[in-house]
Amino acid sequence: MTTPEIVSLAATRRIVLLGEGHTYPEHHLWQLEMIAALHGRRQHVVIGMEMFPRSTQAVLDQWVAGQLDEHRLLLDGAWKSFWRLPAELYLPILRYARMNRVPLRALNVPRELVSRVAAEGWDQVPEADRQGLSQPAPATPAYEKFLAETYRQHRDEPDVPDEAHLARFIAAQLVWDRAFAEGLRAAVAAQPDALVIGLMGSAHVKDGFGVPHQLASLGVDPKDVLVLLPWDASGECATLEPGAADAVFGIEIVEAASTPPRLGIVIAPADGGVAVKEVSPKSVAAAAGIRRGDVIVEAAGVALQAPGDLQEIVARQAPGTWLPLRVRRGKAKVEIVARFPAHPKPDGAQ
C-alpha cells in the first residue's frame, strides 16, 4: 500500500498507535509526518504521549492553550526527572500541537508505581497507591514469552530465570500497557468525534500484545485500532513477521541519541532515603557494589527524600562521570562511587 492509502485507512479508525524507538530522531519525524497527515483528514485529533505522567495533564493543557513557554513546559512537566531523553527529540511534535491547538493527553504513571509493582507485585500495592489504575488484563502466552526473553537478556544466567522476579517484571510491564490503554480510551470517551493518536515505545504495541490487548479488554473494538510501526529500512524483509503491525514504514536511521544514564536498580520510598529493591546484573549499580536491601541516603552530597530525587540526579550525569553515593546497609554506612560508561549505547528497543 502507498503511504496515502495507509493514512486514509488510519483516518477511519478511532485510535492509531504510532510506535517508536525512543532515541531515534527519524522515528519522531515520521510520527510528526503521520500526525500532520492524519490531522489533514480528521478535523479533531488528540495526541496521547507516553512521555508524560498523568499528574502533568494540567501542564499539557496550559501548553496547548499558549499559557506556558517551552522552559515551563519541560520544568513543570517533570521532563528531566521523568522522561530524561533530550527534549529536542519531541519538541517538534509538542510545537505542532500548540500551533494547531491539538489536545495532548498524558498517558503514563509515576515510575514509583511501576518500580513498586516490579519489587512487590500488583496485589501487594494498596488500591489507594495505584494512581487510579485498574487491574491489567493478564498477558497472553505469546506476550509472556516475549517478556520472558527480554527479562533473560538482563540476567547473569539467561537460561535460568527467577520465576518470582519474572512474574513481577511482567506485572510491571502490564502496568505501563494498562495505563496507556486507559488514557487512550478516556480520550476517546471525552471526545468521541476525535481521532486519538498514541505515541509510545514500539514494544508496547508490536504484535498486538501490549496496549492493543489492554484496549480490547477495556471494551475497545480491535477494528477501531490501527498500529503503525517504524522499521529499519536496511533490515531484511524476511525478519518481519505477520501480525507485527497493520503497517510498517521503512525508515533510514542516521544516528540514535544516547540513552539517559541509568543505575540499573528498582527503587522504592524508604525512611531517610531510597530503598533498593532489585539490582540488574551487569549494571552500573552492580559494578559499584550496590546491593538489594540497601538504602541510598545521599547522591552527589544531596540528601534523598523520594525516588524522584535520585532519578533527577542520575539524569544529570554526563557519560564517563562518577556519582558518589552514601548507602545505609543494615546499621552500617557505606560510601559508594557509581561510574557511568563514557560511551553509552543507544537504546531503541522500546
Q: How many helices (H) and strands (E) does the chain have?
A: 12, 12
Model confidence over 201-221: pLDDT tens digits? 999 999 999 999 999 999 999
Residue 47's DSSP bridge partners are 104, 197
Q: Evaluate if residue 64 carries a pLDDT over 90.
A: yes
Model confidence over 253-292: pLDDT tens digits? 887 666 678 898 988 889 999 999 888 888 899 999 999 9
79 contact partners, CB below 8 Å, separation of at least 6: 51, 73, 87
Model confidence over 137-186: pLDDT tens digits? 999 999 999 999 888 776 644 444 578 888 999 999 999 999 999 999 99
| pLDDT for position 282 | 82
Q: In which band, very low, low, confident or very high, does the pLDDT at 349 lie, cut at 50, 70 and 90?
A: very low
Domains identified in the chain and CATH numbers: 3-110+173-251 (3.40.50.11550), 265-339 (2.30.42.10)
CA–CA distance, 132 with 97 (Å, rounded to integer): 27
Average pLDDT score over residue span 308-314: 85
Are the C-beta atoms of residues 182 and 134 closer than 8 Å to each other? yes
227 contact partners, CB below 8 Å, separation of at least 6: 16, 17, 19, 205, 206, 208, 212, 245, 246
Q: How far is CA 54 from CA 58, 61, 132, 192, 267, in A?
A: 9, 12, 10, 20, 20
Instruction: List the grid coordinates of 79.
Output: 521532563
Are the C-beta atoms of residues 113 and 129 closer than 8 Å to each other? yes
